[in-house]
Structure 1
């Protein structure tokens, strides 16, 4: 029997079909799908498509990555990314995706990329998403992270090359306790407490008066662990959206504000109280909204 099409196990001596061997290798991450020819018609279809870009919450959580360390990519390789590339070509430029993307029919690859900000060990982290169309050709490449897409801009003509990527603007972070912002279990504009409104008014005034230009504002909602994970995720995102809406009503440009909900996934404190009232008090720091302002001051 041709060994390319049949193999024997060391335990039973029975023939094992190649498909079963390849499936096992796929699970182990070592068996790749065969390539296919890319025709001019396929290129044209990919170039004509204009899919809606993903929202921040469409990117996978960093802690769900298979390869959590990420990678330091080549800027030239990233600049070579285009619509109409096949998966083999993307893999050759960027390597394997860093998340568990599935075994077949996968239409999205996600990466964690780091960029040096100087000659030392400091770096910033960005997420990068590649989406594929029905022909399994790239039809969209997207970044998550303030200033990440700007890293690919080539230097001006005649400019001296720089040894390292310049750092993104360091954000000014404000953390507001949700208990002081919203009524109990509240999430809408109508649920904002008077003290919460005063804090947001002061924040909006500070942003408008003390910044030269705002690159981005990221609003992140967090909850404690009480309740289901699904409920907490929805609550955290709703509160972040409400804070965003209030800032926009206060004169902040809507185009600069990004929102995300982290639910109970990033607690600041751990509590073990058996009394529910005491537990709720202890968990208060976890119920919060964080506002990061990326701006030149």
Structure 2
């Protein structure tokens, strides 16, 4: 208001004086930008997020599309979605994704929900996905979730990258470690936040072992696998997401991220063959060996 002309400021003051006190205060907030002061992201709060391990939402936890305040949704930037991480403040989320599309409340909001559309490449056609961002007690992002896991594949397509050719005098000896996905991740989870404490500890110990024993580390290949339950596209996206999460945790524990390649094989390379199609406890148990993450370490020692 200090930049207004004197006569404009006088008229504005008279107008506000004629309003009830509460309405006048709200008008001042609107004219001031409707924003409270931001806050720094403290190291203690970041450490709290790293320790968080919240369970993922269920389908019924997502709001109905018909209850959205902005029912049209939005066509998001893929780069913005790929930049989302845990430990971000609300200002940073708004900068990437804008405001949520549902009425989330006034104070103490711990969840933002979005309606995002993605082009199919067939003229004006698009698919609609629901995206949820959850915040912890420090109001930092503690998890990002898609209602349909297949939507995650639209942001990060499960395409295996070719292994770069390395010219070497002799083939590098490889060592393969297989970790059961059931002991690594929460059921149907694939993000870093879905890693179980025991699974996180296994990957961290493996990172220490690799750095101690691999004298000439040439590369690491992390491959995710699923069982045959669920759709092919869902399994491909889930297996790649799990491989990417293992790579991220290896990098957090000292492994050069540039040396780690990931790929998702979905259900294409089973190690156990089981009869039946109905999702019974017996079939789920029989297929357990197929739900795995394989880590191949390439060491250039002769």
Q: Structure 2-normalised TM-score?
A: 0.48
Q: Greater helix percent: which structure? A: 2
